[in-house]
Amino acid sequence: MPRQQKPHSASVYIASAASLETTLEHDMALYEQLWRMIGPTKLARLLAERLRDSEPHPAVISVVTRLLDPGSNDCLKLEVVRRKDGKSPTKRVNDRFIAERVKEYTQAFGNRHGDQTRAVKRLANELEISAATVRKAIRSK
């Protein structure tokens, strides 16, 4: 089993609090060092946990807002990306809505042979999507 290497990072040297413009600069320097030590994923998890506290520390809130601010001139930025694996919440909600509407239409038509096909076509026209998309949503509900 390979040995884990210690992450290399530049230390933050602070002579005095007056050497920094603000305490936010100090916090940003410390978070940048932490980012280099533990990596972006663990830092994001740490920030998320601290933000979920009942009363998050004001420094955490100010650092996160600065990291998300596109106008700031920081070299460390949080990038908001959607997860690639699995369905997004929007897709799940939309699929559930489509499946429920098809079921309603099928029951309204009398639930006879071929009524689901008619319901799929009607809903596809109503929502301006393809019938294949509606069928896929029914399968994946």
CA distance 98 to 107: 14
What residues does each domain of the chain span?
17-68, 89-140
Q: What is the pLDDT of residue 125?
A: 94
Q: What is the pLDDT of residue 77?
A: 66
- Phi/psi for 79 (5° steps) reads -110, 125
Q: What is the pLDDT of residue 39?
A: 84
How many residues would you count in the chain?
141
Confidence of residue 14 (pLDDT cuts 50, 70, 90): low
Q: What is the pLDDT of residue 47?
A: 87
- 140 pLDDT above the threshold of 60: yes
Given CA atoms 17, 19, 24, 30 in this order, what sign does their dihedral have? negative
Q: 103: left (phi > 0), else alpha (psi -120 to 50), else beta?
A: alpha
- Average pLDDT score over residue span 97-107: 92
CA distance 64 to 90: 25
Confidence of residue 7 (pLDDT cuts 50, 70, 90): low
Lowest mean pLDDT among 31-40, 79-88, 121-130: 79-88
Q: Which residues fall within 8 angstroms of residue 103, CB to CB, at 6 or more apart?
A: 119
Residue-wise pLDDT for 66-100, tens only, equals: 877 767 666 666 666 777 777 777 888 889 999 99
Residue of higher predicted confidence among 120 and 70: 120
